[in-house]
Chain A
Amino acid sequence: MLLNRDDWYETSRDLEWTLSYVDPEVAFPARWSGTDGIPADAWQAWDEPFRVSYRDYVRIQREKESGVKAVSNALVRAGIYEKLDPAHVAASHLHMGTTCMVEHMAVTMQSRFCRFAPTPKWRNLGVFGMLDETRHTQLDLRFSHDLLKADPRFDWAQKAFHTNEWGVLAVKNFFDDIMLNADCVEAALATSLTVEHGFTNIQFVALAADAMAAGDINWSNLLSSIQTDEARHAQQGFPTLQVLIEHDPERAQQALDVAFWRSTRLFQTLTGPAMDYYTPLEQRKMSFKEFMLEWIVNHHERILEDYGLKKPWYWDQFLHSLENGHHAMHIGTWFWRPTLFWKPNAGVSKDERAWLNEKYPTWEDNWGVLWDEIIENVNHDRMPQAFPETLPSLCNLTQLPLGSAMSRHDLAPHQLVYGGRLYSFDSAISQWCFEQDPERYAGHQTVVDRFIGGQIVPPDLGGGLQWMGLTPDVMGDDVYGYAWAKDYIAAAPAAPAAPVA
């Protein structure tokens, strides 16, 4: 007679060996496990609510895969992609290029949990996480491969992380840090708890809803299917935080505060422009700020309160950044559009501008005046003035442009000298993150550092684009060919009425 699952589950997921032929510190070095300062028996309290067996996992994942594949096959056959709004499509190019290989990096992180996590329960859940992330990578690659014939930009699902495209380098820098370079404890707090349990809601719930409204059922379905896995394996964060709180609360607070800010900056880049500018106006559900407040801010505040932690010292600055950071990243990416592998929508037609002003009361003064000068140049055919001639200065922590965290009125130098070198930061918060562990970040080179270091030849925009791997077939330009700017051309004065005979 087969045993019920409850009869064997605890034994199967908590099967541990008492090491005798090898020193436990050699088998589970603290630099990989992250257990410094935490007694070994503290990990016995580590527990998670998803009681998953391998048999159940395979059955459920098989059903999910069948569902995604059936929908995808039907929609590709029906040629739905070709009917989508091109501004929305850019969001899927951006997502695939910047996310697919992050999923693949997450396989490595989860495999580290499988091998080095300090409790068998965690190692057991890490196995499912590793399989999840393998599935997500394959889903993205399959989706992109199916659409490659429609647009070469889908090649960037695989290619992007093998290029020097500046935005991809920023994404890679962040995930190299919190996935590949972090021990199990820090990776669980930064990636599982902060990114996966919190911020992926923006990409996989909000963007999925926008994609569904835009008619992109295939992509929406893919995002939603991925999110069901994230919700499970993200649970590795909570019990890890619980153990750390009891033995090293300062470390927990610092790890979460750094990860929360770095995640904010990343999603201001990846998701903010897609939600507030690329999604067609009539299909927008919530603004990026509204979604952040409802799904991320409230959620994070609750976690901090539940675990007895404080709000980060920078909370007020973070809320101010929510008003501005993604608008900065949007105008910046649009203006430096030849450096992108997708075609951005300016998203500032008069109707769209009215929506932005309604959602963001400071938008006109902070951003509208800058767009006005761009619009003047576009409408007077001064196109060279609507393109850049140099690089923006970049942050040595986030790799994003200085000035892209707040508004133009807040722009101020945040620079420090460390080891004889001058480092620049996009905000006081990013500088604080650097100061928590300078050796970790010092020495990394931004695109600007590489440019002045002679790595980009010839040292001009053309050389830079070539160095970034941007070819004419994918290089970014305004997705609507600047048609939106005609909104601002003053109507010609009415002709005088013909004299009555």
Chain B
Amino acid sequence: MALFPITGRFVGDFVPHLVAVDTDDTMDQVAEKVAVHSVGRRVARPAGFNGYEVLFNGELLAPGATLGSVMAGHEVLPLQWFDVRFRTGVPADA
């Protein structure tokens, strides 16, 4: 495990943030760490909130995948851009 800085953009906000994540973080955890700087500050949480999802270069990442596993399959440099957005579709626990 190691701290790793990313550029985290929450879709709908106007600015991405410097977010410190851990290589052991799952994408669900990464999403929470990015969203906390936008959702409920400048971006309203929608009715029927259904969690978040993470995209890298437009590719939707599996919620349980760790950042370390993503780094094994892609070149990920410090301050690389990750998108986080409200999850669309059927709730995970439905």
User: Do residues B12 and A390 form an inter-chain contact, with CB atoms below 8 A?
Assistant: no
B12 to chain A, nearest CB (A): 7
Considering the chains assembled together, what is the distance between the CA atoms of A448 and B20 in angstroms?
Answer: 12
User: Do residues B7 and A424 form an inter-chain contact, with CB atoms below 8 A?
Assistant: yes
Is B64's CB within 8 Å of the partner chain A? no
User: Do residues A402 and B42 form an inter-chain contact, with CB atoms below 8 A?
Assistant: no
Closest to A388 in B: B37
Is B44's CB within 8 Å of the partner chain A? yes
Is B15's CB within 8 Å of the partner chain A? yes
Is B36's CB within 8 Å of the partner chain A? yes
Closest to A410 in B: B14
Chain B residues 35 to 94 lying within 8 A of chain A, measured CB to CB, are: 36-37, 40-44, 77-81
Considering the chains assembled together, what is the distance between the CA atoms of A388 and B77 in angstroms?
Answer: 25
* Residues of the B chain whose Cβ atoms lie less than 8 Å from the Cβ of A442: none
A485 to chain B, nearest CB (A): 15
User: Do residues A415 and B37 form an inter-chain contact, with CB atoms below 8 A?
Assistant: no
B9 to chain A, nearest CB (A): 6
| Chain B contact residues: helix, strand, loop or mixed | loop
Considering the chains assembled together, what is the distance between the CA atoms of A413 and B11 in angstroms?
Answer: 12
A434 to chain B, nearest CB (A): 15
User: Do residues A328 and B14 form an inter-chain contact, with CB atoms below 8 A?
Assistant: yes
* Total number of residue pairs linking A and B with CB closer than 8 Å: 91
Is A331's CB within 8 Å of the partner chain B? yes
Is A108's CB within 8 Å of the partner chain B? no
User: Do residues A373 and B42 form an inter-chain contact, with CB atoms below 8 A?
Assistant: yes
User: Do residues B42 and A374 form an inter-chain contact, with CB atoms below 8 A?
Assistant: yes
Chain B residues 1 to 32 lying within 8 A of chain A, measured CB to CB, are: 5, 7, 9, 12-19
User: Do residues A393 and B43 form an inter-chain contact, with CB atoms below 8 A?
Assistant: no
Considering the chains assembled together, what is the distance between the CA atoms of A366 and B13 in angstroms?
Answer: 10
* Residues of the B chain whose Cβ atoms lie less than 8 Å from the Cβ of A467: none
B21 to chain A, nearest CB (A): 12
User: Do residues A391 and B80 form an inter-chain contact, with CB atoms below 8 A?
Assistant: no
Considering the chains assembled together, what is the distance between the CA atoms of A372 and B19 in angstroms?
Answer: 24
User: Do residues A373 and B18 form an inter-chain contact, with CB atoms below 8 A?
Assistant: no
**Which of B9, B18, B43, B81 touches A451 (beta carbons < 8 Å)?**
B18
Closest to B82 in A: A413
User: Do residues B18 and A392 form an inter-chain contact, with CB atoms below 8 A?
Assistant: yes
User: Do residues B41 and A417 form an inter-chain contact, with CB atoms below 8 A?
Assistant: no
Given contacts A393-B7, A415-B7, 16 further A-B contacts (CB under 8 A): A331-B42, A370-B14, A372-B44, A373-B42, A385-B40, A389-B36, A393-B18, A402-B7, A402-B16, A407-B14, A408-B14, A411-B9, A411-B16, A422-B77, A422-B78, A452-B18
Footprint of A on B, CB under 8 Å? Answer: 5, 7, 9, 12-19, 36-37, 40-44, 77-81
Footprint of B on A, CB under 8 Å? Answer: 328, 331-332, 335, 366-367, 369-370, 372-374, 376-377, 385-386, 388-393, 401-404, 407-408, 411, 413, 415, 417, 421-422, 424, 448, 451-452
